[in-house]
Amino acid sequence: MSDMPKTLMTADIMQIMTYLPHRYPFLLVDKIIEIDADLSCIGIKNVTINEPQFTGHFPTRPIFPGVLLIEGMAQTAGAICVASRFGDAEAPKEVYFMTIDKAKFRKPVVPGDVVEFHMQRTAQRRTMWWYHGEAKVDGQIVAEADLSAMLVFPK
């Protein structure tokens, strides 16, 4: 394990970009406001009308795609996997999203919303991680799912 403190209160976008390979327009976590070791974390996504998906989803009533809420949860979980293992150190790593189970979409997310991705680790075995995630807007659950991922060390 890294020398990461038990609780890191925040990770800004520059730190997140050291944890994840994703970049615009597919980096869906703007900030992490709380990490508790590799047990849980909360990521933030600020939804704006300037995002490319709103040109087609939907032009007259923009709704943030549910699949991107799931991806935001997965990226938040991926960031915690890497952060808990390496901290800010540059290490060869990739997190591969493996499964989605029990996905539910409860309310639409629209431009102007601030989405919180609440991720709770439910299991870990070697380089495999399982999480329960909830996407919340104004404290209300808008989506939830169980996810699994694998930390991979490319050659």
Q: Are 111 and 52 in contact (CB under 8 A)?
A: no
pLDDT above 70: residue 3: no
pLDDT above 70: residue 132: yes
Q: Are 129 and 73 in contact (CB under 8 A)?
A: no
User: What pLDDT score does 151 carry?
Assistant: 85
Out of 22, 57, 118, 132, pick the active-site residue. 57
Q: Are 126 and 80 in contact (CB under 8 A)?
A: no
> What would the CATH number be for the domain defined by 7-152?
3.10.129.10
User: What pLDDT score does 88 carry?
Assistant: 58
Whether the model pTM is above 0.85: yes
Instruction: Tell which wins on pLDDT, 4 or 96.
Output: 96
Name the burial class of residue 68, with classes exposed (0-12), middle (13-18) and buried (19+) by CB atoms within 10 angstroms of its CB. buried
132 catalytic? Reply is no
Q: Quickly state the pLDDT bin for 57 (edges 50, 70, 90).
A: very high
Mean pLDDT of 91-95: 70
pLDDT above 70: residue 126: yes
Name the burial class of residue 63, with classes exposed (0-12), middle (13-18) and buried (19+) by CB atoms within 10 angstroms of its CB. middle
pLDDT above 70: residue 91: no
